[in-house]
Structure 1
């Protein structure tokens, strides 16, 4: 069959690249007589036959699973490189890897180990750094029980000081070092046929499902009808386009010089004048040839349309915009310079400005729905997500007393003044771009008030349900308003900062909303519960 396809490519006038197969991991690890690997040997012969048919103008290789391309360990202590004979073949032009390693170990809340490394699961530096850190590089989980407890086993090699052979993510060491196999734990005297740095990698696939915590296991395909389907560890199953986008940005940022990769990230290759990972050799999975939005909406025609919601598809998503980019574009259109919006999270499929308006008027609905605000920081207009870390811990004794002698005044809104329910109207990208609405409702309370607003965005239902939940919870969390004064020494505090006021055994978290500077700094603030803004996307049915 493979040679038949090669013949078709030959008849068509040739192709740039031809893969003789992909992800035959269960076969390439099977051992034959004398410790040989029959499938790997057959692939080598097949590559030679295809190369002979298509000639030097076609790049020939095999797309290995990310756990398959390198060393394989066996229970008897053997460590082998089954595919090295294939990679070393003159008929093979590059090492093909379907690149789906875990780039995160994130869980809800802050009580887990990776919370010390990043503010959240979308942190691009965290994800990019994890291409050379974390699971399958520094440590592994022995089983699901260990994963649940975050009991990490370090990846080490006390025998020969070569821990890299057990690091499935360590492309750098595999590419740059000779490969010594082991028999019953004893290192061979001579290396395999692989010549260090002799050929580039191509990432023949790189992707991530658009699902909550997808970076925890990018290889997972969320298909409820498939025996191979499932969810990444600790995922709630909700659609999450930003997770997919950030993971792909991390992979590109780690290996593509055009996306910011440095020489240390993707080393130059003197042997062939390129780089370790071939520039232009990263192929994102997956783009569907079926026309969008007919696929995935026409589910009476294509039964797998339901899988699109949280699957690896880029079709219909690649043109969506991170909120940070929307903010930057609106500001640029209005001549607003020197801004920073990198910390604002979220992604929308579209944003509508349907009449002349100021940048503030355009962005205020977005700020309400996606819980961010703007502040001046060192001459820069900074857009920041609300509910960040506590900026200052202030003892009540340090507050400046007012004319009436009070140091802290609190006003608590009555329940009847607060909404029992909120409704958000938006344009639903998954419902043929019709206007839709979502709501969030408190189960208890004396209020009968309903708050409604229209957000001029094109987005998914899951994104807007989360926005409604956060809006309602934040309105109730902020029912207390506070006024107090601080000495001029607290000049570093700005509106939007969260401060902790300690009064004996009582501690209050307050978000500063207004500051008036005079002899003292007159502060207006509201109560806040930062965990409200960590509300995850809800799982899909």
Structure 2
């Protein structure tokens, strides 16, 4: 059924042409089941699921198969926003709640054979309770005294399971840390702080003939800083009682290794994804661009992405600094690739816990208060 409102507001006709007893708006509608798998493209086919043991196993149409709790959360919030206050819908039942307690399900794989399906399935325990990073940023900014009309965090996407703060920290340092793993820029524009997600937005094409290079310099210079061939990400593992864990990304090149300590509670796949993005983006950003543009490009600001059209070659650049000089604009940027900044992660999860819930049931103490 594609048009619920039309169906609810009109009379119904049987195939033989006779009218049914249904009268327009005769009674309220119940959604007996609505839900979405927690993977990329979940809204394309909300009813499908991935289960290697089932012949009905299927990814949503056009999905890349990657886990995305965020996509599931946005889909559920969007459904509620659309129908919760509707005059025609009375009740909505979300699929799927599970009687098995999180995190024992899905962590106890030797007890429940379907544990590996949780990560991409319709289950919401352990997923829906995570916070939108845009809301976290908004809360931090308001705590500094900024009003909601002085900033815009709506462009930043991602979920936060937990953040460990064990000492006093300025909000600036907290936001800077979040930048390193949620990959966004902060720019001041139109008297407002704007948070811009990397990997999103529109790219502007600029012919190389409109650019002026100082001292006949090259289009791009390679940074002379030592590049890393390995990035270790230290984090709190969400699935094993929050121990400190490490995930890493490595390139088959010579170079140094760096370790990044992130005081966040994460899934293993999330930490792996962050390590890969940090490593690959550092290699892309070794290309540094420095040039001038005509004043007609004065609207460009740091965090904007441009594509330099050089004949058949194209150079994608993220602007990191601009400066007005007479009737031109000085631009400094770094190499960039939209596809690097994906915030979903592969559907792999290594779980084999032996930590069972305590079988001891404590005494119930009842106190009567008069």
TM-score, structure 1 normalization: 0.59
Q: Which residue in 2 is equivalent to 1:381?
A: 193
Q: Which residue in 1 is equivalent to 2:239?
A: 430
Q: Which residue in 1 is equivalent to 2:367?
A: none
Instruction: Give 1 or 2: higher helix fraction.
Output: 1
Choose the corresponding residue for 1:471, options 268, 278, 290: 278
Structure number with higher relative contact order (C-alpha < 8 Å, ≥ 6 residues apart): 2
Choose the corresponding residue for 2:46, options 218, 222, 227: 218
C-alpha separation in 2, matches of 1:496 and 1:395: 19
List per-residue Cα deviations over 1:375-434 (Å, max 9, x = no partner): 1222221111124445533333333454x4x376532136x8211121212112122212
1:496 aligns with 2:303: yes
C-alpha separation in 2, matches of 1:419 and 1:286: 43
Q: Which residue in 2 is equivalent to 1:392?
A: 204
List per-residue Cα deviations over 1:75-125 (Å, max 9, x = no partner): xxxxxxxxxxxxxxxxxxxxxxxxxxxxxxxxxxxxxxxxxxxxxxxxxxx
C-alpha separation in 2, matches of 1:433 and 1:534: 24
Structure 1 unaligned spans of 5+: 1-167, 258-265, 267-274
Q: Which residue in 2 is equivalent to 1:68?
A: none
8 Å contact 2:119–2:347 — kept in the other structure? no
1:357 aligns with 2:169: yes
Shift of 1:535: 7.3
Q: Which residue in 2 is equivalent to 1:540?
A: 348
Does the residue aligned with 1:470 lie in a helix, a strand or coil? Answer: helix
Choose the corresponding residue for 1:336, options 120, 136, 146: 146
Q: Which residue in 1 is equivalent to 2:104?
A: 294
8 Å contact 1:374–1:382 — kept in the other structure? yes
C-alpha change, 1:408 and 1:486, in structure 2 (3 Å) is farther
Q: Which residue in 2 is equivalent to 1:179?
A: 12
TM-score, structure 2 normalization: 0.85
C-alpha separation in 1, matches of 2:231 and 2:300: 32
Does the residue aligned with 1:367 lie in a helix, a strand or coil? Answer: helix
C-alpha separation in 1, matches of 2:111 and 2:209: 70
List per-residue Cα deviations over 1:325-348 (Å, max 9, x = no partner): 222122222333322121212212
8 Å contact 1:237–1:540 — kept in the other structure? no
8 Å contact 1:222–1:231 — kept in the other structure? yes
C-alpha separation in 2, matches of 1:348 and 1:321: 5
Shift of 1:222: 2.7
8 Å contact 2:226–2:255 — kept in the other structure? no
C-alpha separation in 2, matches of 1:347 and 1:335: 24
C-alpha separation in 1, matches of 2:54 and 2:219: 59
Q: Which residue in 2 is equivalent to 1:524?
A: 332
C-alpha separation in 1, matches of 2:245 and 2:207: 47
C-alpha separation in 2, matches of 1:438 and 1:244: 25
C-alpha change, 1:174 and 1:486, in structure 2 (3 Å) is same
List per-residue Cα deviations over 1:493-520 (Å, max 9, x = no partner): 1101112233455432211111233424
Q: Which residue in 2 is equivalent to 1:369?
A: 181
C-alpha separation in 1, matches of 2:278 and 2:26: 56
8 Å contact 1:390–1:500 — kept in the other structure? no
8 Å contact 2:316–2:335 — kept in the other structure? yes
List per-residue Cα deviations over 1:185-236 (Å, max 9, x = no partner): xxx1x31121121011111221112223222222223333345444323445
User: More displaced, 454-463 or 293-302?
Assistant: 293-302
